[in-house]
């Protein structure tokens, strides 16, 4: 039951929405609703995040998600711009707030700001409580027997997480939620200016349904149609075996706890243990990424393995631009980069291929890739993005060994053997036979002509020699001390 009152004789709790844009399984909101009236708040705080302000694709998603959350709150969501510390203090003073509740965001600047906010508010006699709504396990509590933190994924997940107490079970929506408006605030959702003047995002709108209801529906579809065969099918970008829940998870339109238990329930009824274990381990990788960020806050900007500080990265804007635009001349790489630009998403197998191509074949710093993904992905997530890029580059914990270089030809032939994915995003090669689709430069002239392909005109020549660039990458890695 949703009710709205301007004033209430009960305690007034400010609930601060962040990356938890949902009503169900929202621990902070659930507890706030028990107190009496709730003043629901969202603050666009770009000052505190420094160089990691949201990318354009994330802002597009956020705009839609906030509008849907506001609708589910019967128009009672209060939005603001500014430093969260200042805004919360101002709201609390103007509205006689008794308590401030929120769910923890595990990015370094949020953790730091949260502690500062708690100190300030508690000195003023305002109760503060924070909850875990976004992770299955608290990063501070998963430790090895010697109390040090894990640096390798499999022991972290199998020995640390799975041997710890199980994740909490999901909470329902609050039975009674009395929401109030901040009459002092005139800021509207449009005032947040999340959408740019140039409507490049229109292509994204045909690809996604956003919000809590859409997230729940997507989980149901995945469980009913795609969980079976997930372990093998997740590697093939033309198939639909990935859940595509990552942006919903990032913005908190669905919780990992809801997914964790729904997947287990489905698996028990249909004997999908192997697929379940594989899928849940992907949630485990998300946990590991946040775990690393918690224990190593510089992960987005510093090599975890400091010997990589001496790696001889090259600077080449032309190569970087070709990679960003999907004009590298390597079809599976270009398909992935174009999928990213057109949809705000990229299949995970292809993410590894394009990342390896950037850092190993082009020898461009992994931070360039991290920045581009941050700008273009609707599921751009600080922990997952930085941990995954460092994994591919070989500079992170539990990293892929330096000699692991994804061959884009072999990857395409193995995981897109019929070319369905590649032809979708690189249509200028759609008439090439499968034999040459992933290496059009090897096709005879009559084959190219018959397919309407003119290399260097309708489709670029490769911007790098794959064999020579691989050898150059391996030599560069060998030069690092200790490799």
- Per-residue b/e over 452-466, b at no fewer than 16 CB within 10 Å? ebeeeeebbebbbeb
pLDDT at position 376 over 60:
yes
* Residues in contact with 176: Cβ distance below 8 Å, sequence separation at least 6, in sequence order: 1, 3, 33
Are 64 and 247 contacting, i.e. CB atoms less than 8 angstroms apart?
Answer: no
Mean pLDDT computed over every residue of the chain? 94
**What is the fold, at CATH topology level, of the domain defined by 306-478?**
DNA Cyclobutane Dipyrimidine Photolyase, subunit A; domain 3 (1.10.579)
Confidence of residue 88 (pLDDT cuts 50, 70, 90): very high
Buried b (16+ CB within 10 A) or exposed e, 131-153: bbbbbbbebeebeeeeeebbbeb
Beta bridge partners of 39: 14
pLDDT in tens, 193-235: 999 888 888 899 999 999 999 999 999 999 999 999 999 999 9
**Domain positions in the chain:** 2-133, 135-168+211-295, 306-478
What's the confidence (pLDDT) of residue 399? 64
List the structure tokens of 186: 């005139």
Looking at residue 271, its pLDDT comes to 83
Q: What pLDDT, on a 0 to 100 scale, did the predictor assign at position 299?
A: 95
Q: What is the pLDDT of residue 432?
A: 98
Supply the Cα-derived Rg of the chain in whole angstroms: 24
Compute the C-alpha angle 111/305/405, nearest 5°.
Answer: 115
Token pair of 114, please?
A: 């949260």
Q: Over pLDDT 70: what percentage of the chain?
A: 96
Write phi, then psi, for 304 (nearest 5 degrees). Answer: -65, -45
Q: Could you tell me how far CA 352 lies from the centroid of its own chain?
A: 15
Contact 27, 133 (CB under 8 A): yes
Which spans in 296-419 are helix H? 317-325, 331-343, 348-356, 366-376, 382-393, 408-415
pLDDT at 270: 82
Distance (Å, whole) CA 55 – CA 72: 26
The string over 412-426, giving b where at least 16 C-beta atoms fall within 10 Å of a residue's C-beta and e elsewhere, is: bbebbeebebbbbbb
CATH for the stretch 2-133: 3.40.50.620
Q: Decide if 2-133 and 306-478 have a common fold.
A: no
pLDDT one-digit tens code per residue, 437-482: 999 999 999 999 999 999 999 999 999 999 999 999 999 988 875 5
C-alpha–C-alpha distance, residues 259 and 248, integer Å: 11
CA 245/CA 216 separation, integer angstroms: 9
Report residue 340's pLDDT band, with 50, 70 and 90 as the boundaries.
very high
DSSP 161: I
Interatomic CA distance for residues 201 and 203, integer angstroms = 5
Strand partners, 81: 44
Tokens of 95: 């509205």
Is the distance from CB of 11 to CB of 38 less than 8 angstroms? no
Is a pLDDT exceeding 70 seen at residue 402?
Answer: no
- pLDDT tens-digit series, residues 18-63: 999 999 999 999 999 999 999 999 999 988 776 688 999 999 999 9
CATH of 135-168+211-295, one of 3.40.250.10, 1.25.40.80, 1.20.950.20, 3.40.50.410: 1.25.40.80
**Contact residues for 261 (Cβ-Cβ < 8 A; gap 6+):** 167, 169, 170
């Amino acid at each position: 039951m949703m009710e709205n009152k301007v004033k209430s004789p009960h305690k007034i709790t400010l609930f601060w929405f962040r990356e938890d844009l949902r009503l169900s399984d929202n621990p902070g909101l659930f507890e706030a609703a028990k107190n009496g009236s709730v003043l629901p708040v969202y603050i666009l705080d770009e000052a505190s995040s420094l160089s990691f302000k949201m990318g354009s694709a994330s802002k597009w998603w956020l705009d839609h998600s906030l509008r849907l959350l506001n609708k589910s709150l019967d128009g009672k969501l209060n939005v603001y711009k500014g430093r969260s510390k200042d805004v919360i203090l101002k709201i609390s003073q103007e509205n006689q707030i008794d308590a401030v509740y929120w769910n923890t965001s595990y990015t370094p600047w949020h953790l730091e700001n949260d502690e500062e906010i708690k100190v300030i508010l508690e000195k003023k006699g305002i109760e503060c409580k924070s909850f875990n709504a976004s992770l299955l396990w608290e990063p501070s509590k998963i430790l090895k027997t010697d109390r040090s933190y894990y640096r390798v994924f499999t022991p972290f997940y199998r020995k640390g997480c799975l041997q710890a107490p199980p994740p909490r079970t999901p909470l329902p929506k609050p039975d009674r939620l009395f929401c109030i408006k901040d009459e002092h605030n005139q800021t509207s959702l449009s005032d947040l200016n999340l959408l740019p003047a140039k409507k490049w995002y229109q292509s994204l709108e045909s690809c996604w349904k956003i919000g809590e209801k859409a997230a729940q529906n997507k989980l149901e579809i995945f469980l009913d149609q795609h969980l079976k065969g997930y372990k093998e099918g997740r590697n093939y970008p033309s198939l639909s075996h990935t859940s595509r829940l990552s942006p919903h998870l990032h913005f908190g339109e669905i919780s990992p706890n809801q997914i964790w238990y729904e997947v287990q329930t489905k698996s028990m009824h249909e004997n999908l243990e192997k697929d379940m274990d594989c899928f849940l381990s992907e949630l485990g990788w998300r946990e590991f990424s946040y775990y690393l960020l918690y224990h190593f806050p510089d992960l987005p900007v510093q090599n975890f393995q400091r010997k990589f500080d001496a790696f001889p990265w090259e600077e080449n804007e032309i190569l970087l631009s070709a990679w960003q635009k999907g004009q590298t001349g390597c079809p599976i790489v270009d398909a992935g980069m174009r999928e990213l630009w057109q949809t705000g998403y990229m299949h995970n197998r292809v993410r590894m291929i394009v990342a390896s191509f950037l850092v190993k074949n082009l020898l461009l710093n992994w931070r360039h890739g991290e920045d581009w993904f941050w700008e273009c992905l609707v599921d751009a997530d600080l922990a997952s993005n930085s941990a995954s890029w460092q994994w591919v580059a070989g500079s992170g914990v539990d990293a892929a060994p330096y000699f692991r270089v994804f061959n884009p030809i072999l990857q395409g032939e193995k995981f897109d053997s019929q070319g369905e994915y590649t032809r979708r995003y690189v249509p200028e090669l759609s008439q090439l036979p499968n034999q040459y689709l992933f290496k059009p430069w090897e096709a005879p002239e009559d084959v190219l002509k018959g397919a309407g392909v003119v290399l260097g005109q309708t489709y670029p020549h490769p911007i790098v020699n794959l064999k020579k660039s691989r050898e150059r990458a391996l030599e560069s890695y060998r030069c690092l001390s200790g490799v």
